[in-house]
Structure 1
Amino acid sequence: MREWVPVSTSPKGRLVLAAVGEFGRRPYADVTVGELARQAEVTTGALYHHFDSKIGLYAFVREDVEKRLLDRISGAVAVTDDVMAALVVGFDFAVAQGFLHILGAPPEPVDHDRLTELVAELVESAPLGRLLTASWRAALAAVADGVPADQVRAALQALQVTGAGRTAP
């Protein structure tokens, strides 16, 4: 699994680290450019220089975080051949890293949703892939809303995939 490690001493690296934390903890709309710049100890001009806009920084961070998630889910499926177990691995990763908001919402304004595409491919059904991904994201939203992660994890584990593609026991 690839881990992107920014050089935290560079302005760009500090912005990325600040954005990962803030966009993970709070919805995109609640995070301001000024807060990100202050936390990264740079000017707002540095943010615009490196990423053109807040959405540019968000897209950069989201893509990296999503790649890490997809690596974990793909690795778990390769080991277990169980899509739901792999989604639980992804859930545990997102919760442990504090990526509740950045991964709990569908990517916008992106043309495609790589998580939904991966899950649909794994279960060999586009509609089922969409439903499972929506459930997974709802699980992250529940944790973000204060529902204990262990309760949400148990509910996610209770979902079973049968009849299409790989099945969960």
Structure 2
Amino acid sequence: MREWIPVSTSPKGRLVLAAVKEFGARPFEEVTVAELAAAAKVTTGALYHHFGSKLGLYAFVRDDVERRLLDRMEGALAAASPTSPSPDGPAPVNSAAVMSALLVGLDFAVRENFLHILGEPPSGTAQDALADLLGRHAPAPLLGRILAAAWRAALAAIADGAPPGQARAALAALHLRSPG
């Protein structure tokens, strides 16, 4: 698993750190450009200079946070899978590994307070890296999209005040079986 490399204390780096904190804890619509600039101790012009817009900064931060999530989930999948993928085909299905990845990802998102930034599917793209990762390891490829939606619903429930343990238990109650 790669570790996240801290950004510099440059104005751009401070904007990224402020955005990670704000977009993780609050919905995109509730975070203002002025708040981000003030938290980073820069002008709003610096945000527009480095990222073009609030959405540009959000997309940059979302990509970084999602990569950290996927690194952890891939590690959980690898650790919980008793066999290696065949060089000739897809990895064998291991429901316990998929469940482990979902729970590791949930624990990470809660611990880092990334409830809002990871609780929504990526916008502006048809690509959903979380659903793709889960689909490669789930008993059926479409199940990746369904599991990603359930995982995000668990984060949304926590953001709305549900105890993390209840959301974790709800995910753990899912039973994945191979079709047929």
| Same-fold status (TM-score > 0.5) | yes
1:86 CA drift (Å): 1.0
Q: Give 1:109's aligned residue.
A: 124
* Count of aligned positions: 163
Q: Give 1:143's aligned residue.
A: 158
Q: Give 1:44's aligned residue.
A: 44
Q: Give 1:120's aligned residue.
A: 135
Q: Distance in 2 between matches of 1:111 and 1:16?
A: 24
Is residue 93 of structure 1 aligned with residue 108 of structure 2? yes
Q: Distance in 2 between matches of 1:14 and 1:60?
A: 13
Moved over 4 A (4+): none
Q: Is the 8 A contact 2:110 2:164 kept in 1?
A: yes
Identity across matched positions, percent:
61
Partner AA of 2:146 in structure 1 = L
RMSD: 1.0
The superposition leaves residues 79-101 of structure 1 with CA deviations (integer Å, 9 ceiling, x where unpaired) of 11210111100000000000000
The 5 A counterparts of 1:72-83 are 72-81=72-81, 82-83=97-98
Q: Distance in 2 between matches of 1:28 and 1:77?
A: 30
Q: Distance in 2 between matches of 1:126 and 1:44?
A: 43
1:160 CA drift (Å): 1.6
Partner AA of 1:89 in structure 2 = V
What SS class does the counterpart of residue 6 from structure 1 fall into?
A: coil
Q: Distance in 2 between matches of 1:32 and 1:125?
A: 41
Q: Is the 8 A contact 1:94 1:100 kept in 2?
A: yes
1:4 CA drift (Å): 2.7
Q: Is the 8 A contact 1:123 1:129 kept in 2?
A: yes
The superposition leaves residues 116-148 of structure 1 with CA deviations (integer Å, 9 ceiling, x where unpaired) of 111111115232111111000000000000000
Q: Is the 8 A contact 1:4 1:64 kept in 2?
A: no
Q: Give 1:157's aligned residue.
A: 172
Q: Give 1:167's aligned residue.
A: none
Gaps of 5+ in 2: 82-96
Q: Is the 8 A contact 2:139 2:176 kept in 1?
A: no
Between 111-120 and 98-107, the greater mean CA deviation after superposition: 111-120
Q: Distance in 2 between matches of 1:159 and 1:4?
A: 34
What SS class does the counterpart of residue 68 from structure 2 fall into?
A: helix
Structure whose alpha-carbon radius of gyration is higher: 2
Between 137-146 and 125-134, the greater mean CA deviation after superposition: 125-134
The 5 A counterparts of 1:18-37 are 18-37=18-37
Q: Give 1:6's aligned residue.
A: 7
